Amino acid sequence: MPTWLLRQKYLIDFTLSSLLRRRAKNLGLLLVYTLIVFVLGSVMLFTHALRQEAAAVLEGAPEIVLQRLVAGRHDLLPASHLERIGSVRGVQKKEGRLWGYFYDPATRANYTLMVPHDRTIAGGEVVIGAGIARTRGLARGDFYTLRGQDGQPQTLRVADVLGSGSELVSSDLMLVSEDFFRRFFGIAPGLYTDVALTVRNPNEVRKIAEKLTLLLPDTRPILREEILRTYDAVFAWREGIVYVLLVGAVLAFVVFAWDKASGLSAEERREIGILKAIGWETGDVIRMKFWEGALVSLTAFLVGYLAAYVHVYYSDAALFEPVLKGWAVLYPRFQLLPTIDGLQVATLFFFTVFPYTVATIVPIWRAAITDPDAVMR
C-alpha cells in the first residue's frame, strides 16, 4: 500500500479510538446531526416521490384537452366543435368527454362522475373508486342512491370497485353510463364537458394547440406538458419553502457544531499537546481533526438518510404529510415508489455536511496550532 494511504489509515484508526474515548460528547453531536439530515432528507425524498407519482399518473393523460369558455368560464362544448377539429392535421384521435363533480352531503366530499371510454357500464350500474367504497362502506352488489339535478333520487347498483393500484387518480371516481350521466346532470345530447386529443408527435403539440385556438377561438387548449411543468414547479417550490423554513434549524446546528468543536476539554488539549511534542505537525493535527469530522459526517449522513428513507417509504412520511401532500376528505391512500436521485443526495450534502465543515474549520485550526508546552505545563 502506498505510504499516503497507510498514513490516512493510521490516522483514521487513531481518530476512531479517540472518538470512542469521548463517547458521550460525540454521541450528542451525532444525534443532532443525524436529526438534521433526517428532517431535510425526508422532505426531499417525499417531494421527489410525489413529483414522480404525478409524472407517472399524467403519462396516460391526453396530450391536449380542449375546453370551451363562455365569458371566461368553462362551459359545455357542442359536438360541432368536434367535427371542426377533425380537419387539424396531426391529431390522431379525438373524443368528447363527459365528466363532472357531485357533492355528497352525507360524507361532505366531492365525487368525480365520469363516462368511461374504454368500458361500457349498464344503465343502472356504477363502478366506484376505493376511496368512496371506504367512506360509504360500499361493496360490489350494494345499492347506492344519489339525488339528481331535478331533486329525484336515483339508485345505482355497485357493479365493481376500482383497484387500489390506481387509487391516486381513482379514489373519488364514479364511472356511470352516458344515459345516466346526461339524465342525472341534465345535459342535452350533443354536448360534452371537454375534448381529449391524442397527438402522436410531441414536437407538434404546441403547433396544434396554436391552430386550435385560431380555428375555435372560444376554446382553450390545456397541454399535458404544461400540467407536468406546473406540478414540477409547485412541488419544487413547496420543497424550497420548507427548506427556507429549515434554514434556521441548520444555522442553529452550525452554531452547535462550532461550539462543540471549539470547546475542547483540558484532556483533549493535553492530548494534542502531547501529539505535537512527540513530533506531529500542525498539518497532521488538522488532518486528524478532518478525519474526525468526516467520520462523524458520514455516519450522521448515512444514518439520517436511511431513517428518512424508512420514514418516507415505510411510514408514509407521517411527519410532513399534511404540509407537502395537501388533504381532502377522500384522500387517496397510495404507496410511494422508492427512488434515490443523485442530485437530491448532492443537495442534501450541501445543506448539512458543507455547513458543518465550514463551522468546524476555524476551531480545528485553533486546536491544531496549540503550543505543546503551553498545554502541558
Partner 1 sequence: MLLNPAILALLGVSAIVTLLVGAATAFGLHLLREWDIASGSELQLRLERRTYLIATLVAFSFVAELVSLLLFVYNAEAMHTQFVGAMCATGVLNVNPWGWPTLFLKIAVFFTGAVWLALNHLDNQGHDYPLVRVKYGLLLALFPLVLAAGAAQALFFLGLRPDVITSCCGALFSPESAGVAAEVAGLAPARAALALAASGALVLGAGSWVLLRGSGGGPFGAAGLLAFVVAIAAVVSLVALYVYEHPHHHCPFCVLKPGHDHVGYWLYVPLFAATALALGAGAVAPWRRVPSLAHAVPGEVRRRTRLAVIGYALFYAVATYAILRSNLTMTDVWW
d(CA 282, CA 370): 9
CB nearer partner 1, residue 160 or residue 341 = 341
CB nearer partner 1, residue 231 or residue 309 = 231
CB nearer partner 1, residue 2 or residue 137 = 2
Residue keyed to cell 409547485: 234
**Candidate segments 66-74, 128-136, 181-189, 237-245, binder of partner 1 by CB under 8 A:** 237-245
Q: Does residue 52 belong to the site contacting partner 1 (CB under 8 A)? A: no
Least distance between partner 1 and beta carbon 245 (Å): 12
Q: Does residue 343 belong to the site contacting partner 1 (CB under 8 A)? A: yes
Question: Are the beta carbons of 47 and 324 closer than 8 angstroms?
Answer: yes
Question: Are the beta carbons of 272 and 285 closer than 8 angstroms?
Answer: yes
Q: Does residue 357 belong to the site contacting partner 1 (CB under 8 A)? A: yes
Residues 358-377 that bind partner 1 (CB under 8 A): 358, 361-362, 364-365, 368-369
How far the first Cα of the chain sits from its last, in Å, is 39
Residues 199-228 that bind partner 1 (CB under 8 A): 206, 228
Cβ-count burial of 24 within 10 angstroms (0-12 exposed, 13-18 middle, 19+ buried)?
Answer: exposed
Q: Which three cell numbers stand for residue 308?
A: 428518512
Pattern 179-198, partner 1, x by CB under 8 A: --------------------
CB nearer partner 1, residue 23 or residue 229 = 229
**Candidate segments 21-29, 65-73, 272-280, 340-348, binder of partner 1 by CB under 8 A:** 340-348
For 315-371, where are the alpha helices, taking DSSP H only?
321-325, 342-368
What's the Cα-to-Cα distance from 146 to each of 36, 124, 153, 322, rounded to whole Å? 50, 12, 5, 31
Q: Does residue 7 belong to the site contacting partner 1 (CB under 8 A)? A: no
236-240 long-range contacts, CB within 8 A, separation 24+: 236/47, 236/51, 238/47, 238/323, 238/324, 239/43, 239/44, 239/47, 239/324
d(CA 63, CA 85): 15
Q: Does residue 104 belong to the site contacting partner 1 (CB under 8 A)? A: no
Query: Residue 282: CA atoms inside 13 Å, Cβ hemisphere, count?
Result: 8
Least distance between partner 1 and beta carbon 376 (Å): 19
**Candidate segments 16-24, 63-71, 77-85, 234-242, binder of partner 1 by CB under 8 A:** 234-242
Q: Does residue 16 belong to the site contacting partner 1 (CB under 8 A)? A: no
Q: Which three cell numbers stand for residue 170?
A: 381513482
In the list 20, 70, 106, 244, the residue contacting partner 1 (rule: CB under 8 A) is 244
In the list 30, 37, 44, 133, the residue contacting partner 1 (rule: CB under 8 A) is 44
Q: Given its phi and psi angles, is residue 279 left (phi above 0), alpha (psi -120 to 50 degrees) or beta?
A: left
Least distance between partner 1 and beta carbon 54 (Å): 11
d(CA 318, CA 339): 18
In the list 21, 23, 200, 229, the residue contacting partner 1 (rule: CB under 8 A) is 229
In the list 140, 314, 354, 376, the residue contacting partner 1 (rule: CB under 8 A) is 354
CA 263 vs. chain centroid, Å, equals: 40
d(CA 51, CA 129): 22
CB nearer partner 1, residue 92 or residue 282 = 282
CA 269 vs. chain centroid, Å, equals: 47
As a dihedral over the C-alpha atoms of residue 340, residue 345, residue 351, residue 356, rounded to 10 degrees, the angle is 120
CB nearer partner 1, residue 58 or residue 307 = 58
Mark 152-161 as b/e (b = at least 16 C-beta within 10 Å).
eebebebeeb
Q: Does residue 151 belong to the site contacting partner 1 (CB under 8 A)? A: no
Least distance between partner 1 and beta carbon 103 (Å): 34
Q: What residues make contact with partner 1 under the rule CB under 8 A?
A: 44, 206, 228-229, 232-233, 236-237, 239-241, 243-244, 282-283, 286, 342-344, 346-347, 349-351, 354-355, 357-358, 361-362, 364-365, 368-369
